[in-house]
């Protein structure tokens, strides 16, 4: 049963200019038509490179950003259509954990005041004592001592601050928590702890998560379903295992190739795709397939003009690429200039694209050794 | 030209607001404690604070410790202006007598109170009205949606126009309209301060409003009024408090300037540093010290306030933090 349904959600930020009167001179198409569904009790992972609109989409769900068009249906109610006051009340059930643990805590509030604020706003707990009992319970749950109550955010470590942020969401007993890069500001050693805490809480409280991250490694073991975003749109979505086993969209494959694999043999042989060029501006997105300016498999005409729809290819796997099937079959040639040393090249060169064996896809299937190239999605 | 001036001045204030505001979030709750510690070890703050304390004490108790009546012309016979005979410092009159034979020290002491009064009242006026306008504008723009944006635009256009006028000119025009009195000086000097306070608070609030903890409060479902009054405003006041100290210095100078120009208290017998300076001007070649005393008073006081303000600003600056 899906708890959250996004239907063609768009968030366009107007670009204003003008000395005396602001004139709208264009739009930043931060989120441009995203439809997805989050199942109750599961974790939906949202990945994509910086600036692709993940945060904007996450905030749009809570209506912290104005939604330009589309529907955000949470438990049967379209949040996009709610009056402000009702939306404010609805937020008890939808909470958010922020990327910057310190920045998201008011430096002048102590922990008790931070945690009690949401309760007061929603009339949870009759008096201070009752709220304190509840707060202490939650603090214990997230692994913070009771002495934390009277202390201030700057007195805690990064990991503890994020626990405070999680506790702040939990005191309201939400159904859905949107975690926007919940661990990217933390030390690597702390990241796993916080991710484990999130999973534990999900198991014991039956929470539903939307976890946003810019790399696949973080969302991999915590997500049930993963959606890949590019320039404000969803380009691929699949159950976590399926996406890792068979990434179908060229962009997902590029992203995937940037994730190191623990097994050294696999690490040497796996596919590496270097994306050329910068992320186009979301204020002026490419026509047709938004990825066509960087896609190694781009086919003239069709990719440049026709927007590929997100289509189900079976098993809950959705891809937005005209040639997903052909690429998977290996019948379509990647363009070398856009993906030099894609596979099977003998000389590890950095910048100059050298001549490479023709049938790269076939070679990969034979399990031949692929060549490395520094890759960044 | 005017628009350029407006934007540059307004931009400067905005940047100051943003800078100070950004420190707050980054530095955590210990901000004030830490700033206070740094303030205490700052020589600038020590000197500025010392000057300020002495001035305030003198201004308050001045009329009681003044050895003579500041308006009494007790030694008229000794002072002969047309013969260039003035009475300099002597046992009974430490700073000598002025051109009408009045005790200079007593006039300085009693005048200090006037000067402080004008400075404080004017700054208070500027602070209260400026904070109201700036707070309203900032809150409207950050949380008021489309209608709020319009409110902000209108308010800020007016504020920018006021900023674009040279402050003394504005003060003189106001004084000219209201007529000659000490109240006029207070109002004129205070009005000039309004746009600075307004701009500063608005900028500071906008910087805070986009901070993550405000977003977090919205996500929690905290009501808008509580977000503005409980989160944004308390975190935005730092730069405004610094500005208050600096504004006092400006107010004292401007009040003196307006009095000097003859827009202050019409009763010229009443001592006020600006009036004293104006009166001394005529006799500068015969009795330069008559001008030096009030001038020094104004300069030292303004300098003291400025030093303290700058020290406070520095204490709040993260770049200097260890
Ligand atoms: N308030 C805003 N006004 C105008 N443009 C905005 C606003 N917020 C975000 N954008 C733009 O929208 C695009 C998407 O931003 P967003 O923060 O959602 O990306 P992201 O995927 O979260 O990136 P990151 O990994 O850097 O957090 C960016 O180009 C950004 O500049
Ligand atoms: S539609 Fe064309 S350009 Fe877009 S990802 Fe598929 S092959 Fe590449
Ligand atoms: Mg983001």
CATH number of the domain within which A68 lies: 3.40.50.300
Q: pLDDT (tens digit, 9 = 90+) per residue, B35-45?
A: 778 788 888 88
Q: Pick from B213, B222, B223: which is nearest to A103 by CB?
A: B213
Q: pLDDT (tens digit, 9 = 90+) per residue, B45-92?
A: 899 999 999 999 999 998 898 888 888 887 667 777 777 777 778 777
- A155 shares its domain with A301: no
Residue B270's Cβ-count burial label (10 Å; 0-12, 13-18, 19+) is middle
A157, pLDDT greater than 80:
yes
State the pLDDT at residue A44: 97
Question: Which atom of ligand 2 is nearest the CA belonging to A289?
Answer: 4
DSSP A122-162: TT-SSSHHHHHHHHHHHHHHTT--GGGGG--GGGS-HHHHH
Q: How far is the CA of A101 from the centre of ligand 1 (A)?
A: 19
State the pLDDT at residue B30: 53
Q: Pick from A107, A118, A154: which is nearest to B220 by CB?
A: A118
What lies within 8 Å, CB to CB, of B213 at 6+ separation is A103, A104, A105, A106, A107, B25, B231
Q: Which two tokens stand for residue B285?
A: 């070649």
State the pLDDT at residue A217: 80
Between B165 and A304, name the one with better pLDDT: A304
Task: For chain B, count helices (H), then strands (E).
Answer: 12, 0
State the pLDDT at residue B18: 62
Determine, yes or no, domain membership for A327. Answer: yes
Q: With H, G, I as helix, E, B as strand and everything else as coil, classify residue B108.
A: helix
Flag if A121 and B221 touch (Cβ within 8 Å). yes
Mean pLDDT value across chain A: 85
- A165 shares its domain with A276: no
- Cβ contact B293:B95 at 8 Å: yes
- A299 shares its domain with A180: no
Q: Pick from A103, A153, A165: which is nearest to B29 by CB?
A: A153
Give me the domain span that covers residue B131: 2-320
Q: Which of A98-102, A352-356, B153-157 is predicted least confidently?
A: A352-356
CATH number at residue B103: 1.10.3720.10
CA angle A271, A276, A281 (to 5 degrees): 125
A284, pLDDT greater than 70:
yes
Determine, yes or no, domain membership for A245. Answer: no
Give me the domain span that covers residue A368: 261-313+322-377
- A191 shares its domain with A295: no
Q: With H, G, I as helix, E, B as strand and everything else as coil, classify residue B268.
A: coil
Residue after which a domain boundary falls, among A164, A195, A223: A223
- A46 shares its domain with A118: yes
A219, pLDDT greater than 50:
yes
Structural domain count, chain B: 1
Question: Which atom of ligand 2 is nearest the CA belonging to A295?
Answer: 8
Determine, yes or no, domain membership for A256. Answer: no
Distance, in Å, from the CA atom of B50 to the CA atom of A208, rounded to the nearest integer, reads: 61
Question: Which atom of ligand 1 is nearest the CA belonging to A282?
Answer: 29
Structural domain count, chain A: 2
Determine, yes or no, domain membership for A292. Answer: yes
State the pLDDT at residue A358: 40
What single DSSP character describes residue A166? H
Nearest by Cα to A219 from A275, A263, A179: A179
Residue after which a domain boundary falls, among A172, A194, A223: A223
Residues, CB-to-ion distance under 5 Å, ligand 3: A 55
- A152 shares its domain with A281: no
- Cβ contact B192:B254 at 8 Å: yes
- A205 shares its domain with A107: yes
What single DSSP character describes residue A276? P
Residue B189's Cβ-count burial label (10 Å; 0-12, 13-18, 19+) is buried
Most confident of A100-114, A165-179, A203-217, B148-162: A165-179
Residue count of chain B? 322
Chain B nearest-CA distance from A104, in A, is 4
Phi and psi at residue B282, to the nearest 5°: -65, -25
State the pLDDT at residue B213: 94
Interface test with A, best of B6, B160, B213 (most A CBs within 10 A): B213
**Edge-to-edge strand order for the sheet containing A2-17?**
A23-39, A2-17, A69-74, A77-78
Determine, yes or no, domain membership for A96. Answer: yes
Question: Which atom of ligand 1 is nearest the CA belonging to A48?
Answer: 21
Distance, in Å, from the CA atom of A50 to the CA atom of A281, rounded to the nearest integer, reads: 12
- A55 shares its domain with A152: yes
Q: Is the CB of A232 under 6 A from ligand 1?
A: no
R_g of chain B, CA atoms, integer Å? 23
Ligand 1 atom 11 nearest Cα:
A30
Q: Pick from B25, B31, B221: which is nearest to A122 by CB?
A: B221
A370, pLDDT greater than 50:
no
Q: Which two tokens stand for residue A236?
A: 């691929």
Q: How far is the CA of A56 from the centre of ligand 1 (A)?
A: 6
Within chain A, what is the greatest distance between any pair of CA atoms?
74
Chain B nearest-CA distance from A304, in A, is 38
State the pLDDT at residue B99: 79
End-to-end CA distance of chain A: 33
Determine, yes or no, domain membership for A249. Answer: no
Distance, in Å, from the CA atom of A160 to the CA atom of A164, rounded to the nearest integer, reads: 6
Q: Is the CB of A59 under 6 A from ligand 2?
A: no
B322, pLDDT greater than 80:
no
Ligand 2 atom 1 nearest Cα:
A321
Does ipTM top 0.85?
no
Q: Where are the alpha helices (DSSP H) in A54-208?
A: 54-61, 84-90, 111-121, 128-141, 158-170, 188-205
What lies within 8 Å, CB to CB, of B269 at 6+ separation is B71
What lies within 8 Å, CB to CB, of A2 at 6+ separation is A37, A38, A39, A40
DSSP B136-186: HHHHHHHHSHHHHHHHHHHHHHHHHHHHHS-HHHHHHHHHHHH-SSHHHHH
Most confident of A331-340, A341-350, B281-290, B299-308: B299-308
Distance, in Å, from the CA atom of A198 to the CA atom of A115, rounded to the nearest integer, reads: 18
Residue after which a domain boundary falls, among A173, A207, A223: A223
Q: pLDDT (tens digit, 9 = 90+) per residue, A112-149?
A: 999 999 999 999 988 889 999 999 999 999 999 999 99
For chain A, the residues whose C-beta falls within 8 A of a C-beta of chain B are: 19-22, 59, 62, 64, 88-92, 95-96, 98-100, 102-108, 117-118, 121-122, 152-154, 165, 168, 172
B205 to A327, B15, B49, B221: CA distances (angstroms):
53, 12, 28, 20
- A184 shares its domain with A302: no
**Cβ of B291: how many Cβ atoms within 10 Å?**
18
Q: How far is the CA of A376 from the centre of ligand 2 (A)?
A: 19
Structure confidence at residue A19 as a pLDDT band (50, 70, 90): low
- A59 shares its domain with A164: yes
Strand residues in chain A grouped as ranges (E): 2-17, 23-39, 43-47, 69-74, 77-78, 94-97, 176-180, 208-213, 225-230, 233-239, 311-312, 318-319
Determine, yes or no, domain membership for A210. Answer: yes
- A70 shares its domain with A148: yes
Mean pLDDT value across chain B: 84
- A304 shares its domain with A366: yes
Distance, in Å, from the CA atom of B217 to the CA atom of A313, rounded to the nearest integer, reads: 41
């Amino acid at each position: 049963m899906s708890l959250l349904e996004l239907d063609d959600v768009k968030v366009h930020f107007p670009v204003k200019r003008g000395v005396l009167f602001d004139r709208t001179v264009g739009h930043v198409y931060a989120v441009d038509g995203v439809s997805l569904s989050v199942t109750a009790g599961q974790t939906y992972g949202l990945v994509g490179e910086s600036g692709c609109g993940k945060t904007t989409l996450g905030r749009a769900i809570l209506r912290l950003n104005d939604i330009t068009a589309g529907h955000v249906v949470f438990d049967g109610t379209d949040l996009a259509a709610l009056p402000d006051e009702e939306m404010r009340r609805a937020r008890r059930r939808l909470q958010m954990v922020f990327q910057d643990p310190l920045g998201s805590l008011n430096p002048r509030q102590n922990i008790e005041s931070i945690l009690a604020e949401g309760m007061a706003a929603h009339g949870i707990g009759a008096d201070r004592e009752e709220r304190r009992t509840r707060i202490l319970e939650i603090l214990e749950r997230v692994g913070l001592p009771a002495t934390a109550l009277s202390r201030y955010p700057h007195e805690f470590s990064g990991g503890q601050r994020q626990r405070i942020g999680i506790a702040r969401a939990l005191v309201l007993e939400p159904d859905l928590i949107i975690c926007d890069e919940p661990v990217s500001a933390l030390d690597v050693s702390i990241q796993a702890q916080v991710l484990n805490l999130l999973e534990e809480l999900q198991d014991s409280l039956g929470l539903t998560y939307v976890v946003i991250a810019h790399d696949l490694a973080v969302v991999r073991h915590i997500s049930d379903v993963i959606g890949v975003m590019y320039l404000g749109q969803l380009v691929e979505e699949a159950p976590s295992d399926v996406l890792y086993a068979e990434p179908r969209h060229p962009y997902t494959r590029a992203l995937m190739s940037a994730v190191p694999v623990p097994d050294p043999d696999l690490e040497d042989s796996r596919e590496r795709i270097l994306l050329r060029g910068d992320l186009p501006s979301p204020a002026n997105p490419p026509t047709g397939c938004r990825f066509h300016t960087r896609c190694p498999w781009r086919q003239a005409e069709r990719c440049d003009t026709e927007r590929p729809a997100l289509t189900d290819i079976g098993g809950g796997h959705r891809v937005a690429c005209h040639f997903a099937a052909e690429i998977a079959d290996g019948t379509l040639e990647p363009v070398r200039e856009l993906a030099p040393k894609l596979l099977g090249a003998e000389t590890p060169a950095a910048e100059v694209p050298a001549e490479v064996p023709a049938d790269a896809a076939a070679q990969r299937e034979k399990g031949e050794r692929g060549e490395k190239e520094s890759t960044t999605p | 030209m005017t628009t350029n001036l407006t934007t540059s001045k307004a931009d400067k204030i905005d940047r100051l607001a943003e800078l100070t505001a950004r420190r707050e979030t980054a530095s955590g709750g210990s901000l004030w404690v830490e700033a206070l510690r740094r303030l205490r070890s700052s020589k600038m703050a020590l000197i500025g604070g010392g000057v300020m304390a002495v001035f305030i004490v003198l201004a308050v108790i001045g009329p009681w410790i003044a050895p003579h009546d500041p308006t009494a012309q007790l030694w008229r016979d000794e002072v002969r202006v047309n013969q260039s005979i003035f009475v300099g410092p002597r046992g009974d009159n430490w700073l000598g007598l002025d051109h009408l034979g009045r005790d200079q020290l007593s006039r300085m002491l009693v005048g200090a109170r006037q000067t402080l009064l004008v400075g404080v009242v004017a700054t208070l006026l500027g602070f209260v009205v400026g904070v109201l306008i700036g707070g309203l504008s900032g809150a409207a723009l950050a949380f008021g949606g489309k209608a709020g944006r319009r409110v902000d635009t209108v308010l800020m256009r007016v504020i920018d126009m006021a900023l674009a006028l040279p402050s003394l000119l504005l003060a003189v025009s106001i004084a000219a309209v209201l007529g000659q009195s000490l109240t006029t000086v207070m109002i004129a000097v205070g009005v000039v301060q309004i746009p600075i306070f307004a701009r500063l608070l608005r900028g500071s609030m906008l910087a805070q409003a986009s901070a993550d903890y405000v977003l977090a409060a919205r996500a929690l479902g905290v009501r808008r009024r509580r977000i503005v009054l409980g989160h944004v405003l308390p975190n935005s006041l730092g730069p405004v408090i610094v500005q208050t100290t600096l504004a006092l210095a400006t107010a004292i100078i401007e009040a003196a300037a307006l009095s000097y120009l003859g827009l202050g208290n019409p009763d010229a017998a009443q001592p006020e540093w600006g009036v004293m300076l104006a009166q001394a001007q005529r006799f500068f070649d015969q009795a330069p010290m008559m001008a030096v005393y009030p001038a020094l008073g104004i300069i030292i006081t303004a300098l003291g306030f400025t030093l303290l303000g700058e020290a406070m600003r520095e204490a709040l600056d993260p770049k200097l933090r260890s």
